[in-house]
Structure 1
Amino acid sequence: MAQHFLLSAKARTLSLAKVFRMGEDAAYGVFCDLRWPDTDGEPVCPKCGCTDAYHISTRRKFKCVACYHQYSVTSGTIFASRKLSYTDLLAAIVIFVNGAKGISALQMSRDLDVQYKTAFVLSHKLREAMAREDIGRTLSGEVELDGAYFGGHVRPANRKDNRRDRRLAINQTGKRQVVVVGRERGGQSLAIVAKSEARGGEMISASIHHMSTVHADEASHWDDLHAKFDTYRINHTVAYSDGIACTNQAESFFSRLRRMEVGTHHHIAGPYLQAYAHEASFREDNRRVSNGGQAAMVLEAAMASRQSRQWAGYWQR
């Protein structure tokens, strides 16, 4: 019987022990190589683009020869105004990608010996970097569409006589949101948070190539897909797959996101649901990539991202 990828040696190419053994200088070199790949890690001024700079070695900063602007390897990126060492940042990324169903900010704060606030903001900055993969993405080929509701927990009443069916819409808090995912078979995925599955479906269908084949369940709001795409439908009350039509890949995405919500984070607030959906999409798309490869992808995306307008100075409001 074939061994699962996550159990194989190919899935483990980078460990925390290796990160801490490499030291601060080697970790700093990794950041430089990924920030300035075109110049082999040599600094490029983010203000004027000049490639000549004075090295301020005592502070690991640079001073541009042309405009005299001082900058570091993380200036203008997700990690701007960082306080953690480069080794700790690299270790945080490894810890983050090692969680197949995500990792809580509390656990990261304990692993890195930092405040919970630090781990919370750092985790969301990494999710923001992960979301770069979805920018301008167009799905094609065999695409599965589906939606599922998250958030808005309703606490059951104490006495049995006062309890009601929490599945009924009349008993919802109004905070539940739907995550609609479009997922290529054997390819990439795109997740969108909306107030209704119909609205999310409209947004997703706008990012699907017109020559694609779409699979969906028999909910009425998917009827419009027949006018745009070659569409197959599956009735889940009869079967999950009829040999052609199925949405099992979309359900796999929801299974991961549901486990993240219930088992790891326990609660996902509405304004942050899109960030967690992007994280689940990244983990699903790269589930066959080694942890070292995933860490490199996240770090490369983080160094290519601009300073976060949502999370920079989050606790200072």
Structure 2
Amino acid sequence: MPQHFLMSATARTVSLKQVARMTDGEARALFRQIRWPDTKGAAVCPYCDCPKCYEYTTRIVFKCKACRRQFSETSGTLFASRKLPIRDYLIAIIIFVNAVKGISALQLGRDLDVQYKTAYVLAHKLREAMAAEVRGVVLGGDGADVEVDGCYVGGHVRPENRKEDRKDRRLAENQTGKRQVVVVARERDGRTLTQVFGSEDESVSFIKARVDRASTVHADEAAGWNSLHARFNMKRINHQEAYSADDACTNQAESYFARLRRAQWGQYHRIGGKYLNRYAAEMAWREDQRRTSNGEQFRTVGFRAAALPPSVDWCGYWQRGRAA
């Protein structure tokens, strides 16, 4: 019986133990290599992109010879204005990517020995780095198969204790109005895109914009997908009759939803409605990277975090400076 990839040695190319044993200098050198791979870790000015920079001998700061501005390894990145050592951020990235179904901010805070709010913001910054990988990506093309489906999340109404007091929670007047649908468009052997809407009908424009017109779109029997027939070659599957028939199925989309549900039930327990899109994008990234080693995932997230500018949503979040 073939061994599952996650159980093989090729899935483990970096360990938490390796990074935790690094000195501050070794951790900084590793972060520099991740941030500036083209110069093999040599500093490049984040303000004018000049490679001619020198490091102070008295403190850990660089200065650009062109614009004369000072900067550190994390200046101009998601980790700008950091308070923790570089090594702690590298440890956080490893812990985050090793958790195949996500990790709660409470657990991350305990592992790093930081406050809950520190871990909460850090986790969301890493999710932002993950989501940046598919920014502007268009799926499919040339007859490629793309599966679309929706998964409703939130809006739970707890039933009353006594039977005579209970109401039919399927009726709109007895719902909270907080129910949202995570719509996924997933190319077979390709990338996964997600977005949150109020209903599946509202997602049609998103699918038309992010899926190439030459693709073959697979969808279930939901009426919300009927309007896609005017633009795409469609294959529909009625799940009341079969999960796969005549080469039509949405099994890859359902596989993504399984990971999202496991994260919701087992790790996060409750996901705030305005943050649902971030968690959905995180699970899409994890699903796409499920066959890559943790070392490659570590470097990918680290590079994305270093390439992105300071977060608009999460910089000053706890000081009410931003409305994430």
TM-score normalised by structure 1 residue count: 0.96
* C-alpha distance in 2 between matches for 1:98 and 1:168: 41
Q: Is the 8 A contact 2:132 2:304 kept in 1?
A: yes
Q: Is the 8 A contact 1:180 1:201 kept in 2?
A: no
Q: By how many angstroms is 1:184 displaced?
A: 0.7
AA partner of residue 139 (structure 1): L
* C-alpha distance in 2 between matches for 1:58 and 1:171: 66
Q: Secondary structure at the match of 2:245?
A: coil
AA partner of residue 288 (structure 1): R
Q: Is the 8 A contact 2:204 2:228 kept in 1?
A: no
Whether 2:101 is the aligned partner of 1:101: answer: yes
Name the structure 2 match of 1:87.
Answer: 87
1:2-41 pair list within 5 angstroms? 2-41=2-41
| Percent of aligned pairs sharing the same letter | 59
Q: Secondary structure at the match of 1:206?
A: helix
Q: Is the 8 A contact 1:179 1:200 kept in 2?
A: no
Q: Is the 8 A contact 1:190 1:204 kept in 2?
A: no
Name the structure 2 match of 1:44.
Answer: 44
Name the structure 1 match of 2:116.
Answer: 116
Name the structure 2 match of 1:72.
Answer: 72
Q: By how many angstroms is 1:243 displaced?
A: 4.4
* Residue number among 231, 237, 241 corresponding to 1:238 in the alignment: 241
Whether 2:231 is the aligned partner of 1:228: answer: yes
* Residue number among 140, 145, 153 corresponding to 1:142 in the alignment: 145
* C-alpha distance in 2 between matches for 1:244 and 1:285: 22
* C-alpha distance in 2 between matches for 1:165 and 1:87: 53
Structure 2 gaps, min length 5: none
* C-alpha distance in 2 between matches for 1:249 and 1:301: 26
1:161-180 pair list within 5 angstroms? 161-180=164-183
AA partner of residue 41 (structure 1): G
* C-alpha distance in 1 between matches for 2:266 and 2:175: 22
1:245-256 pair list within 5 angstroms? 245-256=248-259
* C-alpha distance in 1 between matches for 2:159 and 2:125: 35
Q: Is the 8 A contact 2:35 2:302 kept in 1?
A: no
* C-alpha distance in 2 between matches for 1:167 and 1:127: 33
AA partner of residue 229 (structure 2): H
Q: By how many angstroms is 1:153 displaced?
A: 2.4
* C-alpha distance in 1 between matches for 2:36 and 2:225: 45
Q: By how many angstroms is 1:8 displaced?
A: 1.6
Whether 2:300 is the aligned partner of 1:300: answer: no
Q: Is the 8 A contact 1:193 1:274 kept in 2?
A: yes
1:153-164 pair list within 5 angstroms? 153-164=156-167
Whether 2:284 is the aligned partner of 1:281: answer: yes
Q: By how many angstroms is 1:21 displaced?
A: 2.0
Report the more deviating stretch, 247-256 or 148-157: 148-157
Q: By how many angstroms is 1:233 displaced?
A: 0.2
Q: Is the 8 A contact 1:180 1:204 kept in 2?
A: no
Q: By how many angstroms is 1:302 displaced?
A: 0.5
AA partner of residue 81 (structure 1): S
AA partner of residue 138 (structure 1): V
Q: Is the 8 A contact 1:286 1:294 kept in 2?
A: yes
TM-score normalised by structure 2 residue count: 0.94
* C-alpha distance in 1 between matches for 2:56 and 2:291: 41
Q: By how many angstroms is 1:125 displaced?
A: 0.2
Name the structure 1 match of 2:197.
Answer: 194
Q: By how many angstroms is 1:272 displaced?
A: 0.5
AA partner of residue 188 (structure 1): R
Whether 2:126 is the aligned partner of 1:126: answer: yes
* C-alpha distance in 2 between matches for 1:26 and 1:40: 14
Q: Is the 8 A contact 2:96 2:103 kept in 1?
A: yes
AA partner of residue 256 (structure 2): F
* Residue number among 147, 151, 154 corresponding to 2:154 in the alignment: 151
Q: Secondary structure at the match of 1:22?
A: coil
* C-alpha distance in 2 between matches for 1:143 and 1:156: 38
4+ residue stretches of structure 1 with deviation over 4 A? none
Q: By how many angstroms is 1:152 displaced?
A: 2.1
Report the more deviating stretch, 29-38 or 136-145: 29-38
Structure 1 gaps, min length 5: none
Report the more deviating stretch, 307-316 or 170-179: 170-179
* C-alpha distance in 2 between matches for 1:29 and 1:155: 52
Q: Is the 8 A contact 1:192 1:204 kept in 2?
A: no
AA partner of residue 110 (structure 1): R
* C-alpha distance in 1 between matches for 2:208 and 2:108: 37
AA partner of residue 80 (structure 1): A
